[in-house]
Structure 1
Amino acid sequence: MTLLDPKGPVLPGAPELQLTLTPAVLGRLMPLFLWLDRRGRIQAMGPTLAKIVGSEALGTSYARHFTLRRARGRDLGPESLADGRHIAVTLVRHPGFNLRGTAVELPGAAQPGALLVNLSFGIHLSEAVRFFGLTEQDFAASELAIEFLFLAEAKTAVLNELQALTRRLEEARREAESEALSDPLTGLPNRRAFDAALDRAVKLLARGGRSFALLHLDLDFFKQVNDNLGHAAGDTVLIRVAQVLAEETRRGDMVARVGGDEFMLILRGPIDERRVAAFAERLIARLEEPIFYDGRPCCVSASIGAVIGADGAGAVADRMLADADSALYRSKRAGRGRCTVCAE
């Protein structure tokens, strides 16, 4: 228990006043107070300071736990502190945290020379709250720290909401981009995505990249499926064709639906005419397998035109597309269900 002699304004004519405060009461008013005797031993601490330093510090020298300094100066001992002096305190175990406060002598203490030091984290408050796990219960209700914590909580809530909004917008952007570059029926990339992929492949080839093959595939007898069994049957065929194309190509290859029953493929190199022909033969064989719709078989085949962009050949996307298209129609005229390769 300690006595405090009020030095502020008092009622004129009032008798001399002294306040008797226990450490518990002081702790409620000043959760970061430090009470030192004249030899620098810790007699009491505020509950928040005890939470940080540890209650085992009671009875030990302040120097084991704190370094006292003038607010802008050299280290101090408690015996050199005058009433009202502003000081800075560094935590020995956590030297990254500095506290500031005011030291006053306790006139009614059992031993003369006792000091009461009221501390605060100042600009380090936010870091201290996070590092030591402090809450509003660790500060006096009248402290600005409470207002700061409320503001910090509000800021955190706003930031979390903004981050959530940003995530939603990014997901919506990716979804919209995916929809813009995807065929809604088959899920394959569309013409726009294919054109971008072909442009990248041509530019990479011009810089010394590997050769690649461009294939233009058009389904044979697809019109008969639509005419005889309806568009739902045609959609079933297109979905199955897309599955077969995806299964037959490798990771890194490109398959796109670019029209009603037209597909474009980019087969990454190294590749040559023999490999393209073998791939096309295998692919056509799988596409000629019956596809059943409502218990009825849908029979199609495929005509393919291919062109190979070779190293140093000066490939141009528009010319490659035109050559693949020309090769496709040669396959059609030759009886369908086959592949024609035009060397670039």
Structure 2
Amino acid sequence: MMAAEELGTLLDTLCPMFVLVDDAERVGQVGSTLQKLRPDHPMAGRRFLDIFELLRPRSATEFPALLSTSGARLRLRFHDSPRTTFKGLVVPLPGQGVTVINLSFGISVLDAVRDYALTSADFSGTDLAIELLYLVEAKSAAMEASRSLNLRLQGAMLAAEEQAYTDTLTGLKNRRAMDHILGHLISTKSSFALMHLDLDFFKSVNDRLGHAAGDYVLQQAAKIMLQETRSDDTVARVGGDEFVLIFKGMTDRRKLNSIAGRLISQLCLPMKFDGSACGISASVGTALSTQFESPKAQDILHAADLALYAAKRNGRSCHRFYCEMSDTRQSG
């Protein structure tokens, strides 16, 4: 007959979550891993059913009934928290006066590893839980790498898309972005105003002071336009010295005229580049989406162009609205 101490040592090597229960239904020895789950509450000496609650089979409510299930699978859990669930197998040892109940975590092994900070050393060398843990760890690492890659790809796509819609010199929207925004506003039947702004005398700045000065003027003009518009308005550079401003939800002529007046006043102020004055002004033409029964982007852009030409004919540095009654007359 094997001594109880030798039996416990053997079982701890083969199945470190075993419980030895004597005929008095008290725990004699427990596996090192099982005791690790309750480090401050030794299980030895306590009644088995004071520690564990039997879930399956339902008929086994007392320990003698549990012994009759020898070889059958059990399901049980701790009475106290965390109420970890176990699978079990009962094996009475003839002539030893004890019963071996071998436990395992089953599918709850991942939760158990998390709750109790278990490592591979806490499991039997033949326990498939080790392989499962490695697989889960590898899968988690792969998923994290995939997520990180997807985030980088998404960021690169967003950056590329942003670049495709941005004027690189001024940081404003470009014509492609303007077309997209106009299409969206029209498709959603949103009211808006479209302002076409042209820098007067810009060519003379380029010819007299060079392209670096011209680029500086364009950048300063872009800053002024951004300062005089709302965050949800659109400011786009659509040509060398041509800009389009779109004001969503704004069709009040007095407000639009006031904005155009501020833009013209700011852009008429001399800009200094390397000590030289860059004198420009601005002409502005505005069309409203509400002026068209069935608004189309090309029609609204054409109307704003006509209003801009009227402003230039009027001596520049001024603002004109498109007059829907005639393509040749403009009203201030």
Pick the TM interval, shorter chain: 0.7 to 0.9
1:312–1:238 distance in 2 versus 1, CA, 3 Å: closer
Report 1:1-344 matches (<5 A).
Answer: 21=6, 23=8, 26-58=11-43, 59-70=45-56, 73-80=58-65, 81-82=67-68, 83-93=70-80, 97-107=84-94, 109=96, 112=97, 114-204=98-188, 206=189, 209=190, 211-310=191-290, 313-343=293-323
In structure 1, give the amino acid aligned to 2:37: I
1:229–1:22 distance in 2 versus 1, CA, 3 Å: farther
Task: Report the Cα offset of residue 79 of structure 1.
Answer: 2.6
Query: Does the 8 Å CA contact 2:84/2:112 hold for their aligned counterparts?
Result: yes
| Cα deviation 1:193-239 (Å, max 9, x = unaligned) | 111111222233x3xx4x32100111111111111111111111111
Query: Does the 8 Å CA contact 2:267/2:281 hold for their aligned counterparts?
Result: yes
Which stretch shifts more, 146-155 or 45-54? Answer: 45-54
Query: Does the 8 Å CA contact 2:52/2:79 hold for their aligned counterparts?
Result: yes
Give 3-state SS (helix, strand or coil) of 2:232's partner. Answer: coil
1:235–1:74 distance in 2 versus 1, CA, 3 Å: farther
Question: 1 CA distance for matches of 2:275 and 2:27?
Answer: 91
Identity %: 41
The runs of 5 or more residues in structure 2 that have no matched partner are 325-332
| Cα deviation 1:239-260 (Å, max 9, x = unaligned) | 1111111111012111111111
Give 3-state SS (helix, strand or coil) of 2:221's partner. Answer: helix
- TM-score when scaled to structure 1? 0.84
Query: Does the 8 Å CA contact 1:38/1:79 hold for their aligned counterparts?
Result: no
Question: 2 CA distance for matches of 1:39 and 1:175?
Answer: 73
Task: Report the Cα offset of residue 94 of structure 1.
Answer: 5.4
Question: 1 CA distance for matches of 2:90 and 2:31?
Answer: 14
1:295–1:43 distance in 2 versus 1, CA, 3 Å: farther
Question: 2 CA distance for matches of 1:60 and 1:98?
Answer: 19
Q: How many aligned residue pairs are there?
A: 321
Question: 2 CA distance for matches of 1:57 and 1:333?
Answer: 98
1:325–1:312 distance in 2 versus 1, CA, 3 Å: closer
Question: 1 CA distance for matches of 2:301 and 2:83?
Answer: 66
RMSD over equivalenced CA pairs, Å: 2.5
